[in-house]
Amino acid sequence: MKTLTIFTTLLAATAAKKCIVKPTDAGENSEIEVNGKIEDGNIDSGVEDDTPSSPSNPSNPTVPGNSTVANPDDPIDLKTIDYGDNVDMTDVKKLPADFKWGAATAAYQIEGAWNEGGRGESVWDHFTHEYSENVESGNRSIDFSTNGDRACNSYELFEEDIKMLKVMNAKYYRFSISWSRIFPEGVAEKDEEGNWLVNEEGAQYYDNLIDILIENDITPFVTLYHWDLPYALHEKYGGWLDYRSQYDFANYAEYCFERYGDRVKNWITINEPWVNCVSGYRLGPGKAPYRCTAEPSRFTNATALSGCSYEIGPTKYTKDSEELPKDRAPQKLEDVWCSHNILLGHAQAVKVYREKFQKEQKGLIGITIDGEAQIPWVEPGMSNKEYENNKKYANLAAEFRIGWYSDPPMTGDYPASVKERMGKDLPEFTEEEKAMLKGSSDFLGWNTYTAHWAAQLKNEDGSYVEPPTAEEANFDNSKKDMWDDNCKGRGDGWTCIPPTLGSQAGSSWNTKFAPTIRVGLNWFNNRYKGLIKNGIVITENGCAQPNYKVARANDEVTKKYFESIGQPQYADTYTEEDIEKEGDLEGPLMNDKYRIDWYDQYLKNLRLAYAVDGIDVRGYMAWSLIDNFEWENGYETRFGMTYIDFYNDEELTRHPKESLKHLGEWYKENVEQA
């Protein structure tokens, strides 16, 4: 069998690895087997070196040592673009017995009990109540249909969730702690006697959850922050926009380490800082606190139930910066400053853990970032030169989308390309902050769903849009020559215009393209060689199935595109019968074949990354264990492997879907059993 085919955007290749590559002048079934080096034959390896990027030279790729080089003006041989996943897995090494296998959830999406047991208000509580029409709902007559007030009621039904974990043979459960359930005002402090001023009832809830998980031989994997900032801190100083947030977060984290660290050995500080900051403080309105770029609707209509928000506390980005007034319109670069301070919050929490707890508790701590692996755009007739240029831009796009958040915890600073292209619009870390950030993630968590195509933009006359010069470097110009997306255009409501990079799943941003997980793992491995001491954990992966809100059955445009480049399997076309219908328990809502195929394809690529590419990937957390409140998409966008009838079942009974049972069997067949 093939041990490895070099596929188009694997940005790292281990030299000592045995692999098979395809020469461009060989027949369709010809292969060249090599050991330890690349032999003769023109190949499309996508291998990049570690040379820092610059605005005029996005990635400086190395050229494999071929004896012949394809003519740059000739059309690319599409046969050389192969993602290497069309293989028989019979003889492929299984994942190790200590592989961290489980499922994931988030507090606001499942707990409910938003004002019970002493819990304080979070930004999601406040803004979904104030701006309810920012959330999709199939039935607005139901007051909880646009918020997490009740959600799955896991605050009371967490033992039912654990039963579902047992169905999938989960050994780990990734859940998050609600900061405002423990410290309602967001401030973690002690009294004069040194006792924490904590909401004991809220803290006890997590004691109970952790203890019963351990009783069931399931290891807790705890996220400290999954977007539900205490509203009191937003009102006090603007939340993550203010430099003080990093210290309040570190104090809250210290309490959690002290109380739960005897049993919790796997910590995630921050979940998806990009989504929290970019979607919460620029794009949208999608994510709370709805600080998007349009003028706040309540400036002109005080009773508006949708739109961007202006409610915010007085804010200082840094200790020495001027204070911005409260209740102001969203400002340019809020997402950039949020990102800066949330990364420092991560580092401050890790500093506390390492100085006070890690040696005794012997746990691991890291950050979870998200982001799409970048795939160079290709089409029939494209020249080798243009394709190589698109590979450079794929790496550049990954540096902006992923490296912006993964580089600081690994290397101590932002990517060189981001700094050069952003200019003075990018905050700078002090030398002390760089030292604190560098190496601050014991493991790297990655939430991966879809991939993006990438290319250099062109003018109407076909010439390339030039990168920004040093004088032009700023936020607005930083990506002026870059394109990356998983579809060739966008319509109303951010809907994709095909072709799409894989079939359209049940969220407008999500398409099924399984090689993304292997491409991304190799990108991380190449970029951070020797820096990720305890491997990479896939902390989220999954999909909402095509549904009445988002679907594209019989997508002939995408099908024809993938056929044109010789990859028909990735079109993954489906029919109307595969679309979920609310209330139809006899159809794909429960017999979720699209989701099963999703998991099979992505997990196959993960296993290949481990067994063939030698990537140190140590865990996989399926998203999500149960249907839940899917943020701005409400309750009818279902990522869960467990069905809940939110509107008609007062008991919120858990019903395992076929995908949950399927993953239970997948674990037994693909992971070494101790």
Active-site residue, 160 included: no
The C-alpha atoms of residue 38 and residue 137 are separated, in whole angstroms, by 55
Active-site residue, 272 included: yes
The C-alpha atoms of residue 343 and residue 270 are separated, in whole angstroms, by 8
Name the one residue in this structure whose structure tokens are 């104030």.
130
Beta bridge partners of 458: 464
The C-alpha atoms of residue 514 and residue 100 are separated, in whole angstroms, by 20
Tokens of 167: 């169905």
The C-alpha atoms of residue 423 and residue 471 are separated, in whole angstroms, by 9
Q: Where are the alpha helices (DSSP H) in 263-333?
A: 273-274, 280-281
Our CA dihedral for 638, 642, 643, 644, rounded to 10 degrees, sits at: -100
**E strand or H helix that includes residue 344:** helix 334-356
Residue 618 neighbours by CB under 8 Å, 6+ apart: 98, 99, 100, 443, 534, 535, 536, 537
Classify strands 100-104 and 617-623 as parallel, antiparallel or unpaired.
parallel
| CA nearest to 640, candidates 630, 626, 652 | 626
DSSP 5-35: B--TT-----TTSEEEE--TTS-TT--EEEE
- Using a 10 angstrom Cβ sphere, with 0-12 exposed, 13-18 middle and 19 or more buried, the burial of residue 527 is buried
| CA nearest to 468, candidates 482, 478, 458 | 478
Rounded to 5 degrees, what angle do the CA atoms 565, 570, 573 make?
Answer: 115
Residue 565 neighbours by CB under 8 Å, 6+ apart: 78, 81, 378, 379, 380
Distance of CA 95 to the CA centre of its chain: 22
| Secondary-structure breakdown of the chain: helix, strand, coil percentages, each rounded to the nearest 5 | 35, 15, 50
CB 401 within 8 A of CB 393: no
Task: Name the active-site residue from 160, 254, 433, 540.
Answer: 540
Rounded to 5 degrees, what angle do the CA atoms 509, 515, 521 make?
Answer: 95
Our CA dihedral for 641, 626, 519, 350, rounded to 10 degrees, sits at: -150
- Would you call the peptide bond into 656 cis, given omega within 30 degrees of 0 as the criterion? no
Name the one residue in this structure whose structure tokens are 């349009």.
294
CB 182 within 8 A of CB 199: yes
Beta bridge partners of 619: 100, 537
The C-alpha atoms of residue 42 and residue 559 are separated, in whole angstroms, by 28
Rg (CA), the chain: 24
Task: Name the active-site residue from 272, 311, 334, 580.
Answer: 272
- Using a 10 angstrom Cβ sphere, with 0-12 exposed, 13-18 middle and 19 or more buried, the burial of residue 649 is exposed
Q: What single letter denotes the amino acid at residue 30?
A: S
| CA nearest to 336, candidates 458, 457, 426, 470 | 426
| CA nearest to 109, candidates 620, 625, 543 | 625
Name the one residue in this structure whose structure tokens are 């820096």.
531
- Would you call the peptide bond into 285 cis, given omega within 30 degrees of 0 as the criterion? yes
| CA nearest to 252, candidates 345, 354, 175, 332 | 345
**Residue positions annotated with a catalytic role:** 272, 540
